[in-house]
Amino acid sequence: MALSDWLAKERTIAGSGFNRWLVPPAALAIHLCIGMAYGFSVFWKPLGNALVGPDGAPLLSCAAGASTFGDKLAGTWRALFATDCNWTQFDLGWMYTLFFVVLGCSAAVWGGWLERAGPRKAGFVSALCWCGGLLISAIGVYHHQLWMLWIGSGIIGGIGLGLGYISPVSTLIKWFPDRRGMATGMAIMGFGGGAMIGSPLATMLMAKYATPTEPGVWQTFVTLAVIYSVFMLAGAFGYRVPATGWKPEGWEPPQNAKTNAMIAAHHVHLKNAHKTPQFWLLWVILCMNVSAGIGVIGAASPMLQETFGGALIGQVDLGFADLKADKALLAGAVAIGAGFVGLISLFNIGGRFVWASSSDKLGRKQTYYIFFLLGIALYVIASSAASSKSLALFVACFVVIASMYGGGFATIPAYLADMFGTQFVGAIHGRLLTAWSTAGILGPVVVNYMHDMRQEAKVPFDQIYSPIFYVLAGMLVVGLIANLLVRPVADHHFMSPEELAEEKKHAREVSLAAANSGTNSEAGESSKVIAVFAWLAVGLPLAYGIWVTLQKSAVLFK
């Protein structure tokens, strides 16, 4: 059988005996791999010192001596093609920006194709792009060509991120109409957990491959590409979609519009979703929730060190400026900052599952009310905790904020399904992810700009962040107002039964009777043993990542 036949959507349609609990581990297998995008910062230092001189000392960067932003940009332009100077974090950091900008754009552009082609083909293309991008980056590192990293991992890998991120959304929502939030929470939890596994694995591989003149990065990229291709292809071929008419045993779809006004009984076409006010309100909701979290989460370690200074290591009379003057003291503070980052990562991941699952009971709109109201309160409390040097309260505020940051990502697909129905929810979600791309620029720019301006104004380190917290709280106020305005979609936006039937035919959906007969599908009973093995395959690496992160976080409690 040709590869195109194996990838055809018709081949992925399961019969009534299929075990739906096999689909979440398939989604996790892909999300745990592409989630390494969050952990790419482990490569910055080794890549920044990749070129060494005859004396063994790293060569200067292409932007050496740059004193203005324009000079830095000029240095980055030279670094794209130069082979005689090292790269700076500023040069490499553009890959991180490309990841999430391209993710949102690719999800928006190819979301409609995904609904027609099916999750297996989308997952397969995602694996080719993400792993192929790593191989291109490995060549770029070997030949010291920064442009190859930008194109390989940043752009081609970013396309893989977008397709891989949205590939399971529509499928999981259709398999779990009774637990939409929990289903998407399980998969999207994997994206947050990818760095917990990938970062320590990459660090271990670089240590194994490193030599006195070679940091071992290109070899690590190749190894990760091989490992990730195995998991991602297994996940892609593990995808199945339910046949038309399938539903969980004993479950009936909500019919009473009065008691389920916020859950649509019909479906909005992709071409009409952006014409509704609900789409743009949800866009603002996601953008503000992400913007308010991503900036401080990205600066978590230096934020903690600057705010608490010597208090982190029991030297309450020392400020951050004093720590900078003593390498030994600074190393202790950095270790605690890393523990803080690890703790935030755990709550970010846990929040994706817990908050999304809770939204099945609370309702999506009510869950976002909690995110915004509690988030506003926590930013105000965090400002007070910073002033009073209450470390425990400060940490508690930000781990809860991190949980709601992750929870917002995991809850939004279910919110979209409630508003627009499930027929095009994957594609609509893809378009909405442009809000993430926007927030990925807005949040860090606001936080970093305010931080640098206040630092240049000679504001004491421990007072830098308080006004920033109030600005982020203001973003949450905007999100709160948008959530308040969300109402059920007007009836005239929904497809008629005839239009829906035509779309199902265009999407090559198969009836339950045809799926059970095995015609053009992979029907049949699913072994519970296979389900256990599938969950172990993704659960053990995730448990390893959590264990490593807990060890790093333990320093906070000593």
Residue-wise pLDDT for 155-164, tens only, equals 999 999 999 9
pLDDT (tens digit, 9 = 90+) per residue, 208-220? Answer: 998 888 899 999 9
Separation between Cα atoms, residue 473 and residue 292, nearest integer Å: 7
Q: Which residue has the higher pLDDT, 440 or 416?
A: 416
Q: Which pLDDT value is given to residue 522? A: 54
pLDDT above 50 (res 142)? yes
pLDDT above 60 (res 107)? yes
Q: Which residue has the higher pLDDT, 25 or 63?
A: 25
Average pLDDT, the chain: 88
| Mean pLDDT comparison of 242-251, 431-440, 452-461, highest-scoring range | 431-440
Separation between Cα atoms, residue 21 and residue 11, nearest integer Å: 19
Separation between Cα atoms, residue 36 and residue 20, nearest integer Å: 27
Look up the CATH number of domain 17-52+77-244+509-558.
Answer: 1.20.1250.20
Q: Cα-flanking dihedrals φ and ψ of residue 478, to 5°? A: -60, -45
Report residue 17's pLDDT band, with 50, 70 and 90 as the boundaries: confident
Q: Which pLDDT value is given to residue 59? A: 82
Report residue 257's pLDDT band, with 50, 70 and 90 as the boundaries: very low
Separation between Cα atoms, residue 235 and residue 119, nearest integer Å: 10
Residues 6+ away with beta carbon under 8 Å from 459: none
What one-character-per-residue DSSP string does 386-418 give?
HHHT-HHHHHHHHHHHHHHHHHHHHHHHHHHHH
* b/e code 360-393 from CB counts within 10 Å (16+ = b): bebbbbebbeebbeebbebbebbbebbeeebbee
Burial of 263 (0-12, 13-18, 19+ CB in 10 A): buried
Question: What would the mean pLDDT of 449-459 be, rounded to a whole number?
Answer: 84
Question: What would the mean pLDDT of 423-429 be, rounded to a whole number?
Answer: 92
Question: What would the mean pLDDT of 375-392 be, rounded to a whole number?
Answer: 94
Query: Are the C-beta atoms of residues 306 and 325 closer than 8 Å to each other?
Result: no
Among residues 398, 376, 372, which one has the least CA distance to residue 385? 398
Residues 6+ away with beta carbon under 8 Å from 132: 152, 156, 160, 225
Q: Which residue has the higher pLDDT, 122 or 312?
A: 122
C-alpha 465: how far from chain center: 25
Q: How far is CA 332 from CA 141, 298, 335, 344, 460, in A?
A: 32, 20, 5, 19, 21
Sign of CA dihedral 172, 513, 111, 361: negative
Beta bridge partners of 494: 268
pLDDT above 60 (res 226)? yes
pLDDT above 70 (res 519)? no
Tokens of 183: 């289903």
Q: Can 17-52+77-244+509-558 and 260-495 be said to share one CATH topology?
A: yes
3-class secondary-structure state, position 311: helix
Q: Which residue has the higher pLDDT, 417 or 338?
A: 417
* b/e code 119-139 from CB counts within 10 Å (16+ = b): bbbbbbbbbbbbbbbbbbbbe
pLDDT above 90 (res 250)? no
Q: Which pLDDT value is given to residue 255? A: 61
Q: Which pLDDT value is given to residue 427? A: 92
Separation between Cα atoms, residue 558 and residue 548, nearest integer Å: 17
The fraction of the chain above a pLDDT of 90, given in percent, is 51
Q: Which pLDDT value is given to residue 195? A: 86
Among residues 218, 58, 191, 227, which one has the least CA distance to residue 135? 218
Question: What would the mean pLDDT of 310-335 be, rounded to a whole number?
Answer: 77
pLDDT above 90 (res 260)? no
How many residues are recorded in the chain? 558
The domain ranges of the chain are 17-52+77-244+509-558, 260-495
3-class secondary-structure state, position 2: coil
pLDDT above 70 (res 517)? no
3-class secondary-structure state, position 241: strand
pLDDT (tens digit, 9 = 90+) per residue, 30-63? Answer: 999 999 998 888 888 888 888 888 877 788 778 7
- Structural fold of domain 260-495: Growth Hormone; Chain: A; (1.20.1250)
Which stretch of 119-123, 309-313, 439-443 has the lowest confidence by average pLDDT?
A: 309-313
Q: Which pLDDT value is given to residue 258? A: 45
Q: Which pLDDT value is given to residue 286? A: 97
pLDDT (tens digit, 9 = 90+) per residue, 369-380? Answer: 999 999 999 999
pLDDT (tens digit, 9 = 90+) per residue, 168-200? Answer: 988 999 899 989 999 889 888 888 888 889 988
Question: What would the mean pLDDT of 465-472 be, rounded to a whole number?
Answer: 94
Question: What would the mean pLDDT of 313-329 be, rounded to a whole number?
Answer: 77
Alpha helices in 15-156 (DSSP H): 23-34, 44-48, 69-79, 89-117, 119-142, 146-149
Q: How far is CA 113 from CA 116, 121, 162, 174, in A?
A: 5, 10, 13, 18
Q: Cα-flanking dihedrals φ and ψ of residue 213, to 5°? A: -120, 5
* b/e code 443-482 from CB counts within 10 Å (16+ = b): bbebbeebbeebeeeeeebbebbbebbeebbebbebbbeb
Question: What would the mean pLDDT of 425-453 be, rounded to a whole number?
Answer: 89
pLDDT (tens digit, 9 = 90+) per residue, 278-304? Answer: 999 999 999 999 999 988 887 788 888
Q: Which pLDDT value is given to residue 511? A: 64
Q: Which pLDDT value is given to residue 526? A: 57
